[in-house]
Amino acid sequence: MTKDEVRAGLEFFRDLGIKDIYRRQPAPAAPVETTRAEEPAPHAALVNIAPKTELPGLAPENDTLERILSDIGDCTRCRLHKGRNKLVFGSGSSEAKLVFVGEGPGADEDEQGFPFVGRAGQLLTQMIEGTAAKEGIPLKRPDVYICNVVKCRPPENRTPEADEMEICGQFLFRQLSVIRPKAICALGSTAAKALLGGRDGVTRLRGTWHKWRDTPLMVTYHPSYLLRPYNQNAKRESWDDLKKVLHFVYD
C-alpha cells in the first residue's frame, strides 16, 4: 500500500465519522509461530483488548431503511440505550427530497417513538407547512423525512456526547445515503457538527449552503432554541433559511 492509499483510506474513515480507527478496530493478531498451544502468544494481552464500543457495520449494498432499522435492533451500542423508553428512528417519506436532522429525542419523542412530536416538533411542522404554503409550494410534513443524530433520548435532554454521536451517526449516514435527498437541513449545532464536522455554531454556519458528501446542506436554528422568547431575530432568520431550502428543493 502506498502512502497515498493509506491517506485515502484514513480520509474515508474520517468522512464516515470514525476518528479513532486504531482503538476501535484493533488489528488482528499477527500469525505467531507456536509449538506449544498452552503458551500464550507474547502479545495476547494487547490483542485481546476489546474495543470500548462497537461501531455499526458499514452500509451494505442495496441498503434500505428497513435494513437499517433491523440492524439497529434493540441497540445497546452506546450508553444512551439505558434511559430509553422508545427508540426514535425517523418518520416521513423514504422518497423525500428534503431531510431534516435534529439532535436527539426529547421526552415526548421517547414516549411516542417518533421524532419532533413535542413542542419543538409542532413548531417545526408549522415552519415547514407555513413557509411552504406562503411560498406557494404544495408540501406537508409527511412529504419530507425527519430524523435525529442519536436515536435514543439523552438523560435530562443533555447534548449527545462525541462518542454517542459517532456511533449512532453511522445509522444517520446510512439513512441519508438510502434516501439521497436533494438537500439536507441540519437543525442546530449538534446536527451541524455531526454532518459537517468542525466546531462552528449555528450563527456562523446558517444561511449559506454547505455539503454533506455531495448533498447540499443548510444549517439553521433548532426549533427548541426558537421557542425561547428572546430569540425573535433567530426566528426570522430561520424562516429565511427555510425559504431558501424549500425553493432550492421544490422549484
Residues of this chain that interact with ligand URA (CB under 6 A) are: 102-106, 109, 115-116, 118, 120-121, 148, 224
**DSSP symbol at 38:** T
The end-to-end CA distance of the chain, in Å, is 47
Q: How far is the CB of 209 from ligand SF4 (least distance, A)?
A: 28
Tell me which DSSP letter residue 157 carries.
Answer: G
Q: How far is the CB of 127 from ligand URA (least distance, A)?
A: 13
Closest CA to 195 of 180, 208, 185: 185
For ligand SF4, the binding residues in 34-73 under the rule CB under 6 A are 72
**Contact partner, 80, from ligand URA, ligand SF4, none, Cβ < 5-8 Å per class:** ligand SF4
Q: What is the DSSP letter of 64?
A: -
CB of 97 to ligand URA, least distance (A): 20
77 contributes a contact to ligand SF4 by CB under 6 A:
yes
Site for ligand SF4 in 82-121 (CB under 6 A): 87
Dihedral class, residue 238 (left if φ above 0, else alpha if ψ from -120 to 50, else beta): alpha
d(CA 199, CA 99): 22
Q: Which of 18, 59, 68, 75 binds ligand SF4 (CB under 6 A)?
A: 75
According to DSSP, residue 32 is labeled: -
When the beta carbons of 64 and 157 are compared against ligand URA, the nearer one is 157
Which residues from 137-156 bind ligand SF4, rule CB under 6 A? Answer: 150-152
Q: Quick one: what does residue 109 bind among ligand SF4, ligand URA, none, with the CB cut-off 5 to 8 Å set by partner type?
A: ligand URA
Extract the C-alpha cell encoding 23: 482503538
**Residue 167 interacts with ligand SF4 (CB under 6 A): yes or no:** yes
Using CA atoms, how far residue 172 sits from 16, 129, 137, in Å, is: 11, 24, 27
Beta-strand relationship, 183-187 and 209-212: unpaired
CA-to-CA distance for 163 and 169, rounded, in angstroms? 9
Cβ proximity to ligand SF4, 84 vs 97, nearer residue: 84
Interaction of residue 202 with ligand SF4, rule CB under 6 A: no
- Interface residues with ligand SF4 (CB under 6 A)? 72, 75-78, 80-81, 87, 150-152, 164, 167-168
